[in-house]
């Protein structure tokens, strides 16, 4: 059997990956990219991290991490060993054998996929593309992005995918704030454009994470990620709807879920809340919705889930107004409110798409005074959706501050919040996370919403 030149070159790349002598480039050193870079370093690869944000590069060069999942020591050790460099010099992409792209994939103002980061990054890679490089997209996106958007840009260089360079897709599955999982222990779905690329992608991630799950095509891998997040968005919407219905009936949805989840099969608990947050669940489903239109297929479940989840901050505000009136005789317009927790999820400092920001914005226009406390968010950073909230400072949580407000709304139940203090000194607590009862704090001034 004759071996072609391409096969020989691919075999060389494969053995460089197996032997960890390959250099891995990671583009976009955020919540996904930096932990991936760290996992690759820990597996023995030399890693070059790329970002357009000079402040991040400066911090990394000084051995300082800005992501909880990656420690300063981890970075400094690998930098000292010459296994990690961070740069905004994209000419260094030519030094990389494999390049993982972890740039943002947000929605535009019209709630359509914004692929400008992926496209821009692909153009930069194309400028430095050389033979035998493996390019993998990690960003969450609609099926067809890698094949229909990235591949033509890369092939416009004259190099061909599957022959001169290799293209793949492998979605990220981070669970920020969760102690149980880290990049290396979460199974990773992998796919390539053609059999050689598929083998290379599987080998690369197989060297970094404990388990890889190969699928037959890049499109399948792209929708696996969307399917996971749509599943969450729809189930959270369902339980949010049940919360509203049961509340009218005087039934506590949290007690219902606790009992229902004792069923050992056919049920999986999802929890209600003040609305969806984070970079993924509120956004990703609409990547599929958009693409489905091209096929003239409606995505009614996804749209409906979006409607229900988006209505939650409004529902919480209504429940707050009702409780203020019925329990304290104070109209919403005269009330002072303390929002407890502004991160989108417990034990993380990330406020992207946080329902707390929406709630604060709604309340700022309606109440007399509003403040927030979040032990992990000292100041609200600038966000695209809520620019007017940027710079707002966290207040301290103590007996005086708690009792100075008519009501506290628990939006995020970080473990480090002193809920006992709230229980002892708040006049009214609107609890959107069942934070009080789940900690054994039973108090008749708590209203679940």
Ligand X SMILES: NC(=O)c1ccc[n+]([C@@H]2O[C@H](COP(=O)([O-])OP(=O)(O)OC[C@H]3O[C@@H](n4cnc5c(N)ncnc54)[C@H](O)[C@@H]3O)[C@@H](O)[C@H]2O)c1
Segment contacting ligand X (CB under 6 A): 3-11, 46-54, 296-304, 331-339? 46-54
The span of 26-34, 154-162, 177-185, 297-305 binding ligand X (CB under 6 A) equals 26-34
Which span (101-109, 126-134, 145-153, 308-316) binds ligand X, by CB under 6 A? 101-109
Of the candidates 141, 148, 40, the residue with the CA atom closest to the CA atom of residue 98: 40
Q: Does 414 bind ligand X (CB under 6 A)?
A: no
Residue nearest to ligand X (CB): 30
DSSP string covering 197-227, please? HHHHHHHHHHHHSS-EEE-S-HHHHHHHHHH
| 156-185 footprint of ligand X as x/- string (CB under 6 A) | ----------------x-x-x---------
Give Dmax (Cα) for the chain: 87
Tokens linked to 218: 């890049």
CA 44/CA 317 separation, integer angstroms: 51
User: 398: which DSSP letter?
Assistant: S
Q: How many CA atoms lie within 13 A of 135 on its CB side?
A: 30
State how far the Cα of 275 lies from the Cα of 268, in Å rounded to an integer.
Answer: 19
Among 279, 386, 392, 425, binds ligand X (CB under 6 A): 279
The Cβ of residue 416 has, within 10 Å, a number of other Cβ atoms equal to 9
Among 17, 22, 103, 436, binds ligand X (CB under 6 A): 103
Taking CB under 6 A as the criterion, the residue among 23, 65, 122, 139 binding ligand X is 139
Sign of the CA dihedral with 17 first, then 19, 22, and 28 last: positive
- Please identify which residue in 53, 58, 112, 307 interacts with ligand X, judged by CB under 6 A: 53
Least separation in angstroms between CB 138 and ligand X: 6
Strands 166-169 and 188-192: antiparallel
Helix (H) or strand (E) holding 408: strand 407-410
Residue 140 is a binding residue for ligand X (CB under 6 A): yes
* Shorter beta-carbon distance to ligand X: residue 172 or 374: 172
Q: Positive or negative CA dihedral for 157, 196, 84, 95?
A: negative
Q: Specify the residue, 177 or 214, whose C-beta has the smaller distance to ligand X.
A: 177
49 binds ligand X (CB under 6 A): no
Q: Count interface residues toward ligand X (CB under 6 A).
A: 26
280 is catalytic: yes
What is the distance between the alpha carbons of residues 103 and 56, in angstroms, rounded to a whole number?
Answer: 14
Stretch that binds ligand X, among 27-35, 41-49, 248-256, 378-386 (CB under 6 A): 27-35
Give the span between the Cα atoms of 134 and 200, in whole angstroms. Answer: 8
Contact 313, 360 (CB under 8 A): no
**Least Å from the CB of residue 102 to ligand X:** 5
Whole-angstrom Cα Rg for the chain: 24
> DSSP state, 64?
-
Q: Minimum distance between the CB of residue 32 and ligand X, rounded to whole angstroms?
A: 3
Comparison of 117 and 270: residue with beta carbon closer to ligand X: 117
Mask 108-137, x = binds ligand X (CB under 6 A)?
---------x--xx----------------
Candidate residues 16, 43, 52, 159; the one interacting with ligand X per rule CB under 6 A:
52
Q: Write the binding mask 186 to 225 for ligand X: x where contact by CB under 6 A, - elsewhere.
A: ----------------------------------------
3-class DSSP state for residue 228?
Answer: helix
Out of 96, 102, 280, 443, the active site residue is 280
Q: Residues in the site for ligand X, rule: CB under 6 A?
A: 27-33, 50-53, 56, 102-105, 117, 120-121, 139-140, 172, 174, 176, 279-280
The catalytic residue positions are: 280
């Amino acid at each position: 059997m004759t071996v072609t030149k391409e096969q020989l070159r691919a075999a060389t790349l494969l053995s460089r990956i197996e032997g960890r002598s390959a250099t891995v480039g990671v583009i976009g050193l955020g919540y996904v990219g930096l932990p991936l870079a760290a996992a690759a370093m820990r597996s023995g690869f030399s890693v070059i991290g790329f970002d357009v944000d000079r402040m991040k590069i400066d911090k990394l060069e000084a051995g300082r991490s800005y992501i909880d999942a990656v420690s300063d020591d981890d970075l400094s050790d690998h930098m000292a060993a010459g296994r990690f460099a961070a740069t905004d010099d994209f000419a260094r992409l030519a030094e990389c054998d494999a390049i993982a792209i972890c740039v943002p994939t947000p929605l535009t103002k019209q709630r359509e996929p914004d692929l400008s980061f992926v496209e821009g990054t692909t153009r930069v890679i194309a400028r430095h593309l050389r033979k035998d490089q493996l390019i993998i997209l990690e960003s969450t996106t609609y099926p067809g992005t890698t094949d229909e958007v990235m591949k033509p840009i890369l092939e416009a260089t004259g190099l061909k995918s599957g022959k001169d360079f290799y293209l793949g897709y492998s979605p990220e599955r981070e669970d920020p704030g969760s102690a149980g999982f880290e990049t290396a222990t979460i199974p990773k779905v992998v796919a390539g454009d053609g059999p050689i690329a598929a083998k290379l992608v599987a080998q690369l991630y197989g060297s970094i994470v404990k388990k890889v799950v190969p699928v037959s095509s890049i499109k399948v891998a792209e929708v696996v990620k969307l399917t996971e997040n749509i599943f969450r968005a729809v189930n959270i919407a369902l339980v949010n709807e049940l919360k509203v219905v049961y509340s009218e009936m005087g039934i506590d949805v949290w007690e219902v879920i606790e009992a229902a989840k004792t069923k050992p099969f056919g049920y999986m608990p999802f929890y209600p809340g003040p609305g969806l947050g984070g970079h993924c669940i509120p956004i990703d489903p609409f990547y599929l919705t958009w693409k489905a239109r091209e096929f003239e297929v409606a995505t009614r479940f996804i749209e409906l889930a979006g409607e229900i989840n988006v209505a939650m901050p409004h529902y919480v505000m209504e429940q707050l107004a009702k409780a203020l009136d019925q329990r304290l005789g104070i109209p919403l317009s005269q009330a002072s409110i303390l929002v407890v927790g502004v991160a989108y999820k417990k034990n993380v400092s990330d406020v992207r798409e946080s329902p707390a920001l929406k709630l604060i914005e709604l309340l700022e226009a309606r109440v007399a005074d509003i403040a927030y406390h979040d032990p992990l968010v000292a100041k609200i950073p600038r966000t695209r959706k809520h620019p007017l909230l940027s710079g707002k400072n966290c207040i301290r949580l103590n007996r005086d501050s708690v009792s100075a407000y008519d009501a506290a709304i628990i939006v995020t139940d970080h473990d480090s919040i002193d809920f006992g203090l709230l229980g002892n000194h708040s006049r009214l607590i609107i609890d959107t996370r069942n934070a009080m009862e789940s900690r054994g704090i039973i108090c008749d001034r708590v209203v679940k919403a």
